Homo-oligomer: A and B are copies of this chain.
Amino acid sequence: MIVSALLTSVGINFGLCILFLTLYSILRKQVGNINVYAPRLAVEGSSKQTSRFSLESLLPSPGWVRRAWQASEEELLSSSSLDVIVFVRIFSFSLKLFSLAGVVGIFILLPINLCGTQLNEIDISDIPYKSLDQFSISNVEDGSKRLWIHFCAVYFISVVVCYLLHDVQLMPFDVESIMYTLHEKYYEREAWVQFEPVEYNYISLKRVQCFYASKPQPHQFTILVRGIPVSDGSNINDTVDSFFREYHSSTYLSHVVVRRTSKLHELISDAKELYRRLIHLKSTSHQRNRESGFFGKKVDLVNDYEKKLEDLHETVRRGQSDVSLSGEEVPAAFVSFNSRYGAAIGFQFQQSINPTKWVTEQAPEPSDVYWPFFSTSFLKRWIFKLLVLVASFFLTVLFLIPVFLVQGLTNLNQLEKFFPFLKGLLSIAFVSQVITGYLPSLILQLFLSMVPPIMKIFSSMQGFISNSEIEKSACYKVLWFTVWNIFFANVLSGSALTLFNVFLDIKNIPMKLAVAVPAQASFFIAYVVTSGWTSLSSELFRMFPLIWNYINCGRNANDEFDVPSFPYHSEIPRVLFFGLLGIIFFFLAPLILPFLLAYFFLGYVIYRNQFLNVYAPKYETGGKYWPIVHNTMIFALILLQSIAVGTFGLKKLPLASSLTIPLIVLTLLFNEYCRKRFLPMFKAYPAESLINKDREDQNDPNIGIFLDELVNAYKDPALTPIRYSQNDNEHNAPLLEEARVSS
């Protein structure tokens, strides 16, 4: 790739971005689009938009950028969850990292690379026709002393990444405010005085802060028990009760046995669907009635639907009253305790001599519970987990084979054969060019977009019990998928099996990577500009919801609509992959850095805007996504360092090559240290925090009511009366009333 081609690509994509941003800033002001561009605010009722038409609303304005940029972390946190903070933190982390790296890369490494003569193109005058390879390390002469600057750069970036991962997350002013909040509450307790703020990792501290600030929540007091050993002649209910009364007498409160209620769930979702259609029908017929006086057939349909809904309700009610028929009990139960510490003791301790019986784990939030493949058997879950790991391994490794096959099948001739009516269209030169040019990449994109959902299904089969854990596990899977199929498959450009052969030959990995990675630098620069920038503007523009909104334009504004939740499992890997590219190419081809900086800057603004307006958190893991970020950055560093070992070897500077190896060891040690020092905080809260929080509750007058309500928190939703609104009740009270009347 030559410079002018890159500049063209940058120009086109920059133009597209500007176009989308402008369109967004106009469209977001239209009243009809509130469900697309501010669904969260719409549901919360805090949107200030009025339907008054004005010229101003047709002009683009950058106000949203300022608002998104200025929103403080506290503001973001109050409107969403700590996970969002973690996600935004990836951007601010990357911005800091690549600003520093960018300065070094552009002003030190790039000139050195350009001055090289290795690629035999000494003429610098004609920059547009220079190959991009001349901007990379490949252009430096073999054995040149200037490579020592690259060597220093590798040490520099490693130190910066580790420092940022460890310390700068802890910005002084943040800590001040946190310490203040904490001290205000606990200033009388001596333990807090011994706090050493300087050492603390920002996010793990934030996690504690959020925990302290949280209201009592059911999942803090509840554990899930599986593998309950039931002997003949006793039932699960009594077994659980007697076990916890025996061994947790002072803290045990109540329990709910889990039931298989998939049939009831089906019935209820049928009823809900019917209800939705009924409401829609009623409102439209009502309107039409008012508008045109038209009456007749519609009313029959309404009556028919009402009759059906009534029948369904009757069936559900019968099923709920006779549980033994509708939902079989399984040997698992949600057990509630009267304190957080009690619950923590319950799930951190091995309960029974046989570790496969009375297996406990922390309960997810009631709304987060999701287990299409719930199983109580230890062995079954273990086997399922293995099968899923094998399946996702094969999906990752063999993914490109079907893609190539389909790409091969869908050439022009095939298309003409299957869709003869397209023949005329396809014979036009321009159309056929577009199709041959874009179809393969469209197919790849189509296949790629299927991966996160598939990985999510895999993770849900793995035996997790909550949406949050499923998405967290899917996040890892998608990340490895991306790294393997976009990075390694492109770099080593071979079939899965040859890729494997490279990795089986451990000694030669650095050398092989050092040959292959710089050669692909221009591809990845283009990748950042096209895929990266485009993904951001499409994230902002929300094409599909927008189209959907226009199609459903006529529907009642009061109609329920779901506030979207953020798909962490597909977005985090995407962003992290760009970070990984930046770290790896920093010393190989620093030209990538300005484009990456643009990506991260734009992403920072756009995602903050989306979190403020669009997404509502479905769950709160308390920042448990951060270890994924940390691990990926460390992986990127190790990869960079291995490539550096190979590169210096290739460039005939064996001393630099050997001197890079200690850096790998040091990075691994740093990672190990962080695992010991920070990871425990992301697993469970310490005794200190739990007990402090419990004590605080004792002064809360509402805690009694909360504990009484705890029994019902984990009741199967299929066993409670049907509720038609997922959001708050009050807001939709009239609708519910209507439904009750109609049924």
Interface residues of A (CB under 8 A from B): 189-191, 193-194, 196, 199-200, 204-205, 208, 229-231, 242-243, 246-247, 344-345, 348-356, 358, 378-379, 382, 386, 501, 504-507, 669, 673, 676-678, 680-681, 684, 686-689, 691
Contact = CB atoms under 8 A, between A and B. Distances in A.
Contacts of A353: 204-205, 208, 681, 686, 688-689
B196 A354 contact: yes
B504 A242 contact: no
B191 A681 contact: no
A191 to B, nearest CB: 7
Contacts of A689: 353
Given A351-B686, A504-B506, 4 more contacts: A191-B352, A345-B345, A345-B687, A352-B686
8 contacts: A189-B246, A191-B243, A200-B354, A208-B353, A349-B687, A353-B688, A504-B506, A506-B506
A344 B355 contact: no
A404 to B, nearest CB: 26
B504 A382 contact: no
Nearest to A200: B354
Given A190-B242, A504-B506, A351 B688 contact: yes
Contacts of A354: 196, 199-200
Nearest to A193: B231
A454 B689 CA distance: 43
User: By CB atoms of chain B within 10 A, which of A196, A353, A677 has the most?
Assistant: A353
A520 to B, nearest CB: 26
Nearest to A182: B353
Give the residue among A189, A194, A356, A358 with the most B Cβ atoms within 10 A.
Answer: A194
A521 B350 CA distance: 46
B382 A688 contact: no
A593 to B, nearest CB: 34
Nearest to A390: B665
A694 to B, nearest CB: 10
Contacts of A676: 355-356, 378, 382
A686 B243 CA distance: 14
Contacts of A230: 194
A376 to B, nearest CB: 15
A183 to B, nearest CB: 14
A187 B363 CA distance: 33
Q: Return the 10 tightest CB-CB contacts between A and B, nearest first.
A: A350-B686, A355-B680, A194-B229, A349-B687, A504-B507, A504-B506, A194-B231, A351-B687, A247-B691, A352-B688
A101 to B, nearest CB: 29
B351 A348 contact: no
A345 B358 CA distance: 18
A191 B352 CA distance: 9
A678 to B, nearest CB: 8
A350 B687 contact: yes
A198 to B, nearest CB: 11
A691 B243 CA distance: 12
Nearest to A503: B506
Contacts of A247: 687-688, 691
A200 B354 CA distance: 8
A243 B247 CA distance: 26
A453 to B, nearest CB: 29
A586 B485 CA distance: 44
Contact of A681 (B242, B246, B355): B355
Nearest to A355: B680
A613 to B, nearest CB: 34
A193 to B, nearest CB: 6
A82 to B, nearest CB: 16
A683 to B, nearest CB: 8
Nearest to A356: B677
A67 to B, nearest CB: 34
Contacts of A356: 676-677
B349 A686 contact: yes
A684 B196 contact: no
Contacts of A196: 229, 354
A242 B689 CA distance: 16
A382 B200 contact: no
A673 B678 CA distance: 29
